[in-house]
Structure 1
Amino acid sequence: MILYIQAKPNSKKPGIEKISDTEWIVRLKSLPVEGKANEELIRRIAEELGTSPSRVQIQGGGKGRKKKILVDN
C-alpha cells in the first residue's frame, strides 16, 4: 500500500487526520532534527495500521514535509 503523507512536526496536538484512504496529515510531537520526526512518523503509521514499524518505509520526501510511504502487508 502506498500512502501520501503531509507531516507536521513540532505539533502541540499529535494525531492523524485522514483526508482519503491514501492521503493523511500526520501531526508529530518530535522536531525534524536527526530523523526524530521520521522515526515518530513510522511508529504512528504502523500503530494506526496495526502492523510492525519494520513494514513501513519512506519512499520519497525523507527530508521534506510531503512524503510517500510504502507499507508492506
Structure 2
Amino acid sequence: MSRTIRGIDDETFREFKAKAQKEGRTIGDAVTEAMSQWLNETKEDVSLDDMDAWDWGEGTEKLSEEHEDELYGETA
C-alpha cells in the first residue's frame, strides 16, 4: 500500500534514506519500524538525566552521599 507523507524536512529525509540504503532496507520498512518504536515508547524510557532535581530543603544537601555511605560503606 502506498502512502504520501507531507512536510518532511528534506535534510532529515536524505539522511534517513541514506541510512536505510546503507543497511539494505527499504524506506517503507525503516519508516514502519520508526513509527512502531515511537508508538511503543513509554514513560519508563525517560532518562534520569531528563528529570529535574528535587529540592528537599535546607540541611539535606548531602543526603544522597549519606545514604550511599550507609548502603555501601564510606568510600572516601
Is the TM value for this pair above 0.5?
A: no
Q: What is the TM-score normalised by the length of structure 1?
A: 0.29
Instruction: Considering Cα pairs closer than 8 Å and 6+ residues apart, tell me whether 1 or 2 has the greater RCO.
Output: 1
Larger radius of gyration: 2
Q: Larger helix proportion, structure 1 or 2? A: 2
Q: What is the TM-score normalised by the length of structure 2?
A: 0.28
Q: Larger strand proportion, structure 1 or 2? A: 1
